[in-house]
Amino acid sequence: MNPLDNIRVVLVGTLYTGNVGSSCRAMANMGIRHLRLAAPNLQNGWDEGERLAVHATDVLGSREEFATLEEAVADCVAVVGTTAREGLYRQHVKAPRDCAADILTLAATGPVALVFGREDKGLLNEEVAQCTHLVRIPVDEGYTSINLAQAVLITCYELFTASGRYQPPHEKAPPAPQAQKAQLMKNWSRMLQEIGFMKPEQADHFMQGFHRVFSRGVFTKDDAALMLGVARQAIWAKEHGQAGVSG
């Protein structure tokens, strides 16, 4: 079973449908599809929410609404509240990355709520008291306020990453064997001499530079200058139809 299927994003007292729609888009990006609104206090119509949901209108359309947070999380085995505020009962917060694995372990056993508070004042103390876990997104202390949909995206991203569902792209071809690399250097040396980039007596010196470039990539200004020099000389040789050192 995919534990992300058991994640329930719960927005409490949300004011603007645009934030709801943007949250839906963030959820869909991270493979989370279940949205619940607890005591919504929406100040505008759903046109904006549908527009900002983009291709996640199915998440928006299947949302559930509850009169209270207590009702919205009644079936959940864990309730993870998000808070930017400090206080006596908010001292055990963790960063989303630090508790993502634990949240997914709980989600493997039943529904887990990710609770996000109001745009203007977050979660109230009595709502924090209903949470079994608290998370705080690390931000610069000079400005701690995060847009609601951004908070949803960051938290869901950490869960998605921890779930291991994302597989980064990798090279299809196997690493080159040493014999093939040696043949490359031999042919490269011959080509550089034929286009007039270097003379035979300079080959050992120049090829040390190309060994470095081919082993680690174009990394420094000297590396780039070396490769640009080859390109310029190859162009010169082609245009003049002959080998020789360009002026």
pLDDT tens per residue, range 64-84: 999 999 999 999 999 999 988
Residue 56: Cβ within 10 Å count: 21
pLDDT score recorded for residue 247:
40
pLDDT score recorded for residue 96:
95
The structure's pTM equals 0.78
Specify which residues 8 forms β-bridges with: 34, 113
Rounded to whole angstroms, the Cα distance separating 111 from 232 reads 63
> Can you list the residues of the chain whose pLDDT is less than 70?
86-91, 242-247
pLDDT score recorded for residue 107:
97
The domain ranges of the chain are: 3-162, 178-240
Amino acid identity of 119?
A: E
CATH homologous superfamily, domain 3-162: SPOUT methyltransferase, trefoil knot domain (3.40.1280.10)
Amino acid identity of 46?
A: W
Amino acid identity of 146?
A: I
pLDDT score recorded for residue 219:
87
